[in-house]
Structure 1
Amino acid sequence: MTVSLEQLRRCHVAVDMGAARTRVFVKGAGLVVDEPSAAAVNTRTGGLIAVGRFAEEMTGRTPDYIRVVRPVSGGTIVDIEMAQRMLRQLIGEKLRRTLRRKPRLRAAVCTPHDADPLSRRAAVETMVGLGARRVELVDTLIAAAVGCGMPVEQPEATMILVCGSASTQVAVLSLGAIVTAERIPVGGQAIDNAIVQHLRQRHALMLPLQSVRPLHIALHGNGINQDGPESTEIHGRDVVTGLARSVHVDTAAVREALHTPLTTVLDGIGQVLRDCPPELVADLVDRGMTMVGGSALLPGLDTMLRDATGMPVHIAERPDTAAVLGLGAMLEGKIQPLVLDPLSG
């Protein structure tokens, strides 16, 4: 961990800005914001119309002069000004006044593994624009592992899989640091896009990403395995006529469409295990890996990973908020560093 626990204890607020959702944890108040990372803007006046859930519901349903923007892409803030405006509205005036009373406001922010300098600078500038005097950057992998209750500070291997909207991060941790890790450019959005493309090519049906959820539910049963329901009805727009149409989709064919993105995730997990020292891999045989992130809840994904790797696979109790809760636990001093007795001569 590049940031010491002592530095994190001095922070007042923790922020996890992902491509799908933004979460804010305030010391002493807990998780105060958990909303979609979206903002609706009036392009004529530049005014902000809605943020969070209300802006998310406007996607694809607005007139020409209203645009729904996402200031975070792939775990990186791509529009600093819009990210600041969105955060101000999500936090609210009352909480902003409370934070402004802090003489030297400190903030901690989750950043993706191996984030480039521009991404890290964007995260810092976003929080500085909101009044932070100092910003600490923490790797999402470590924050999520702490949020799951994993013993990251101990000299034993722990493996975590962060299934985000835009990417998947997998790492083996030991002694509070990342031993080996991979960031895979495949996440929940890639899985949804694979379903949308399958419906377009096989059934000539255009389906918005917001409507993919019924297929996720249809894959429930034993999920991506072969024991789920045989078909489900999906409503969309005909590619040729442009009229509304319903089709019965074979879920077995959908599982086949998901094969490519999920295979990429498996390749990344295999690369991490190959780069990991044998002693730590031996620890993982019994302990297995823990899945966090919103996409970890895709039905049957844990079963598929268990069958492919031969290791136990667990889903965290609160996988979607594990990273920000782990960062919050470090802010509140609930994580104690490993203390070694000095060697006596």
Structure 2
Amino acid sequence: MALTIGKQEKAKTAAGKNIGIDLGTANILVYVEGEGIITNEPSVIAFDYETNEVIATGQMAANMIGKGHHGIKIVSPLNQGVISDIDATKKLIEISLQKVENINIDISLSTLLLCCPSEVTQLERDAFMALGTKLGVKDIFIEQEVKAGAIGSGLDIFSSNGSMMIDIGGGSTDIGVLSLGDIVVSESNRIAGNYFDNEIMNHMQYVHGLLIGKKTAERIKMEIGSLREKIENPRQTYANGRDVVSGLPRKIMVNENEIRNVLATPFESIATMVLKVLQNTPAELSADIIVNGIYISGGGALIDGVDEFLHKRIGMDFYISRRPLTAVVDGTKLLLKNRGSYFVKPTD
């Protein structure tokens, strides 16, 4: 009887909240008004094949990648910045919200902001809206990641002074020029964190004859990934995998210079995309960007020397966002206050 009363009391205290979600290919970040960022975990969920029950989410599920058996289905519900499995994404968000202690959120009364890449198709945008409907949210709106990332990086996009932002995420790289509260010019492509991992995997296979998994490639990128032209004391790390010829386990050492050469090619494509955006930028905003520089956020901003690499190719000043991994979800805090309207400058 006491348990039932407790449930009734909990139901009475349930309230709608402003919720901002950065649905990244690599990580899901959830901001709840009054609570801050409550979730920052890999966008991975594991199901039981027979019952379809959730076994694990986040880091626990990510640890299972490449190691599961036939009874476990491991799903990454977002692919290249867009939703590929709407039911798994719904489960992931619901479980993320349930993890919060001392708070009872009525999601049907909440306002939900979802962030997506700037160049998504209408079909992909509809998938984000359909997700809100599946969650039972009546008040839902969508904003571009590059806009939220610029706000989260501390840029004043609501002034007439132009700002430029590069968000290098797991599934997509977004570039935008912002002024007067909205995006003036933008570009997006799928050359991002997952692409870098695949390039490292291909390099290991074709150069060293070693098959490695995605998690190993990501670890190598994080430990010794660099874009600096001159590396005086190259770092080293190990790569464990399966020999292509013998099929037996094998371990090799790789160094920073080798990985730099692998990463340089995709970053040349990103530099070309930056040049394209700058060429399409109005002259007055170009003048502002020369003074203010260009900011970089996302996991790609953590690769050593990325600002130096882009500076040498483009000739402008580049700065790393103060919190590159959480810049987008930090920006949702202010966008929830004005619902993304460029007329209203929200106050923190």
TM-score (norm 1): 0.88
Q: Counterpart of 1:324?
A: 329
1:281 aligns with 2:286: yes
Q: Which residues of 2 match residues 9-158 of structure 1 at below 5 A?
A: 12-92=18-98, 98-100=104-106, 104-158=109-163
Is the contact between residue 108 and residue 137 of structure 2 (CA under 8 Å) also seen in structure 1? no
CA distance change for structure 1 residues 94 and 198 in 2, over 3 Å: closer, same or farther? Answer: closer
Give the deviation of 1:248 after TM superposition: 2.9
Displacement of 1:301 in angstroms is 1.3
Residues 89-147 of structure 1, C-alpha deviation per residue, up to 9 Å, x if partnerless? 122166697221x7732211112103222222221222222231110111111111111
| Paired residue type of 2:20 | A
1:77 alignment partner AA: I
Q: Give the unaligned 5+ runs of structure 2.
A: 1-15
Comparing 45-54 with 206-215, which one deviates more in the overlay?
A: 206-215
Identify unmatched segments of 5+ residues in structure 1.
Answer: 1-9, 341-345
Query: Which one-letter code corresponds to 1:226 in the other structure?
Result: K
In structure 1, the residue matched to 2:4 is: none
**1:339–1:135 Cα change, 3 Å:** closer
Partners of 1:231 and 1:91 in 2: how far apart? 40
Q: Distance in 2 between matches of 1:337 and 1:270?
A: 26
Q: Following superposition of structure 1 onto structure 2, how do residues 153-302 of structure 1 map, counting pairs within 5 Å?
A: 153-212=158-217, 213-219=219-225, 223-227=227-231, 229-230=233-234, 232=236, 233-302=238-307
Q: Distance in 2 between matches of 1:55 and 1:39?
A: 6
Deviates more, 1:114-123 or 1:22-31: 114-123
Over 3 Å counting, the alpha-carbon distance change for 1:18 and 1:290 in structure 2 is same
Asked if 2 retains the 8 angstrom alpha-carbon contact of 1:108 and 1:138, the reply is yes
C-alpha distance after superposition, 1:173-204 (max 9, x if no partner): 11112111110220011111111111111110
**Within 1, Cα distance between the matches of 2:232 and 2:66?**
31
The offset of 1:76, in angstroms, is: 1.0
Task: Look up the equivalent residue of 1:269 and give its one-letter code.
Answer: V
Q: Tell me how far apart the structure 2 counterparts of residues 95 and 131 of structure 1 sit (CA, whole Å).
A: 21
Specify the code of the residue in structure 2 equivalent to 1:140.
E
CA contact (8 A) 1:230 1:252 kept: yes
Change (3 A) 1:84 1:228: farther
Mean CA deviation greater in 323-332 or 285-294: 323-332
The SS at the match of 1:154 is coil
Is residue 143–residue 340 contact of structure 2 (8 Å, CA) maintained in 1?
no
Q: Give the Cα separation in 2 of the matches to 1:137 and 1:84.
A: 16
Q: Which residue of 2 aligns with 1:315?
A: 320
Q: State the 4+ residue runs in structure 1 displaced beyond 4 angstroms.
A: 93-97, 332-340
User: 1:47-82 deviations in whole A, cap 9, x for unaligned?
Assistant: 111011100000011111212101111111111111
Q: Deviations over 1:225-263 (max 9, x none)?
A: 221544624322211112222223353333222232111
Q: Deviations over 1:1-28 (max 9, x none)?
A: xxxxxxxxx9621111111111111111
| CA gap 1:146/1:250 in 2 versus in 1, 3 angstroms | closer
Please give the secondary structure, in 1, of the residue aligned with 2:199.
Answer: helix
- The farther-off stretch of 127-136 and 263-272 is 127-136
| Backbone CA RMSD of aligned residues | 2.4
Question: What is the one-letter code of the residue matched to 2:230?
Answer: Q
* CA distance in 1 between partners of 2:328 and 2:44 (Å): 20
Question: Which deviates more from structure 2 when the two are superposed, residues 181-190 or residues 224-233?
Answer: 224-233
